[in-house]
């Protein structure tokens, strides 16, 4: 039996691709007085699972009860050491590759999307070719100011 006040992580099986929606529903169900749910996270590298940091397995089961995309499997306890390799922060420049479609999320060019045509790792810059431009006009922006919308081989 876990000690009182000690939190643990629990894995909840959900429909692949619906992780973000389930997290939003769970967040809406947690009231300001709920002190036994500490965090909810989903990891893009682990598809089909959401991880909840909570006091007890029963509380996680109650929280997920009746949510459409939650699978009818029991909530499983997960060790923190199993999640740690997936929680390592990688620089944005390492997640971007040639041919990806990205959107500029900050700065004066915010909202412009385009295809990555060059990556300059030492300068931490990517050069994109805007998709809505009348003629090719390469734009270089810092890698931390872009968000990958579509990778060269898959849809996000």
Could you read off the pLDDT of 62-97 as tens digits, one per residue?
999 999 999 988 899 999 888 888 877 778 888 899
pLDDT attached to residue 5: 53
Q: State the pTM of this model.
A: 0.58
Domain 8-86 sits in CATH 3.30.70.940: yes
- Distance between CA atoms of 85 and 68, rounded to whole angstroms? 29
Contact 52, 63 (CB under 8 A): yes
Give the DSSP H/E element, type plus range, for residue 156: none
Could you read off the pLDDT of 24-64 as tens digits, one per residue?
999 999 888 788 899 999 888 889 999 999 999 999 999 99
For the chain, give every domain's residue range: 8-86, 92-150
Could you read off the pLDDT of 94-140 as tens digits, one per residue?
889 999 999 999 989 899 999 999 999 999 999 999 988 888 899 99
Structure tokens at 80: 């923190």
Give the DSSP H/E element, type plus range, for residue 114: strand 113-120
C-alpha 98: how far from chain center: 21
CATH number belonging to domain 92-150: 2.30.30.30
- Distance between CA atoms of 70 and 21, rounded to whole angstroms? 10
How many of the other CB atoms lie within 10 Å of CB of 21? 14
- Distance between CA atoms of 21 and 38, rounded to whole angstroms? 19
pLDDT attached to residue 34: 81
Please provide the DSSP assignment of 48-113 as one string: TEEEEEES-HHHHHHHHTT-TTB-SS--EEE-HHHHGGGS----HHHH--TT-EEEE-SSTTTT-E
- The DSSP code for 3 is P
Structure tokens at 36: 């036994």
């Amino acid at each position: 039996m876990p000690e009182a006040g000690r939190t643990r992580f629990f894995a909840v099986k959900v429909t692949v691709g619906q992780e973000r929606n389930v997290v939003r529903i769970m967040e809406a169900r947690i009231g300001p007085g709920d002190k036994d749910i500490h965090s909810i996270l989903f990891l893009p590298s682990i598809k089909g699972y959401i991880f909840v940091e909570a006091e007890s397995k029963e509380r996680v089961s109650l929280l997920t009860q009746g949510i459409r995309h939650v699978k009818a499997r029991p909530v499983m306890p997960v060790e923190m050491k199993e999640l740690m390799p997936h929680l390592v922060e990688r620089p944005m420049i390492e997640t971007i590759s040639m041919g990806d479609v990205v959107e500029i999320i900050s700065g004066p060019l915010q909202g412009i999307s385009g295809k990555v045509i060059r990556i300059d790792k030492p300068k931490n810059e990517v050069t994109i070719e805007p998709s809505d431009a009348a003629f090719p006009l390469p734009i270089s922006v810092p890698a931390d100011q872009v968000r990958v919308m579509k990778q060269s081989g898959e849809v996000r």
